[in-house]
Amino acid sequence: MTDTPAKQLPHLVFGGELVDLNRNEFKDLSKLDIVGIYPNYAAARDVWKAKAQASVDNAHMRYFIVHLHRLLDPDHS
């Protein structure tokens, strides 16, 4: 058996404080929390969940997962 490396599917996790809960507009882009880039959705979701739970006291704080692999190769999502 050969070990075939998994296809890279990078995901970005970031967050910030929103102006309004009904829109994805940040109060201050210079204060975005760029958490990191992760090799797959599962790893990104684990980090996203931890950051979201840690910021539960601030209703305007939101964290997001961006599927970078879809931006890098939109024909093969």
For 22-54, the pLDDT digits (tens) are: 999 999 999 999 999 999 999 999 999 999 999
Establish if 10 belongs to a structural domain: no
Establish if 56 belongs to a structural domain: yes
User: Residue 22: what residue type?
Assistant: N
Percent of the chain at pLDDT above 70? Answer: 92
Give me the number of domains the chain comprises.
1
Establish if 5 belongs to a structural domain: no
Separation between Cα atoms, residue 52 and residue 60, nearest integer Å: 11
Mean pLDDT of the chain: 92
Residue 43 lies in domain: 15-72
Q: What residue spans of 1-77 are helical by DSSP H?
A: 41-54, 68-72
Calculate ∠ Cα 15-21-25, nearest 5°.
Answer: 55
